[in-house]
Amino acid sequence: MTKIYTGGCQCGAVRFRVSGELGKGSICHCRMCQKAFGNFYAPLVSIREGGDLTWTRGQPKRFQSSNMVARGFCAQCGTPLTYETPEGDAIAIGAFDNPAEIVPVIQFGVEGKLPYTDHMADLPTRTTEEDFETAAFLASIVSNQHPDHDTKTWPQASETDNG
Ligand SMILES: [Zn+2]
Ligand SMILES: [Zn+2]
């Protein structure tokens, strides 16, 4: 049976489906990936040869970040979505509906690594519920985020999701 992966941007204007096996999950520490994701590094997974990427709702807008690479993102909400080269495409792991199943197995661009990324797991932790000072704010949140599954229509008045 062909494996199917789905995902999309935060607002739901862009949704994708990948059928077939994914390649290696990675994180890239290079400065261009930091900027493109607005983050410490970029978590990406390649689409293997024979794998099929379909845009099931909308299309990403693209920024040609170099002569060889285009970065796809949602023009409505800004979610980073793709890393596209002539040799193939990769998708942002966090954009998948189930990112937990896509495990990074290699780090690229480590010359650009921000030194504190090695110590993230040592930082003090608290859950959202433990954040008492923001309880009233949290209780008032009505999310506009697309849920982690395909929807027939979007936006959907009846569906809510925390975050
Ligand atoms: Zn969006
Ligand atoms: Zn990179």
Distance between Cα 87 and ligand 2 center (Å): 15
Do residues 32 and 64 touch, judged by C-beta distance below 8 A? no
CA distance 47 to 25: 10
Q: What is the mean pLDDT of residues 112-119?
A: 96
Per-residue pLDDT tens over the stretch 71-99: 999 999 999 999 999 999 999 999 999 99
Do residues 104 and 25 touch, judged by C-beta distance below 8 A? yes
pTM: 0.90
Distance between Cα 62 and ligand 1 center (Å): 13
Distance between Cα 110 and ligand 2 center (Å): 9
**Residue range 4-114 in CATH 3.40.47.10:** no
- Listed by start position, the domains of the chain span 4-114
Please say if the pLDDT value at position 115 is more than 90.
Answer: yes
Please say if the pLDDT value at position 102 is more than 90.
Answer: yes
pLDDT of amino acid 158: 54
Per-residue pLDDT tens over the stretch 124-134: 998 887 877 77
Residue 17's alpha-carbon distances to 25, 28, 105, 149, in angstroms, are 17, 23, 22, 11
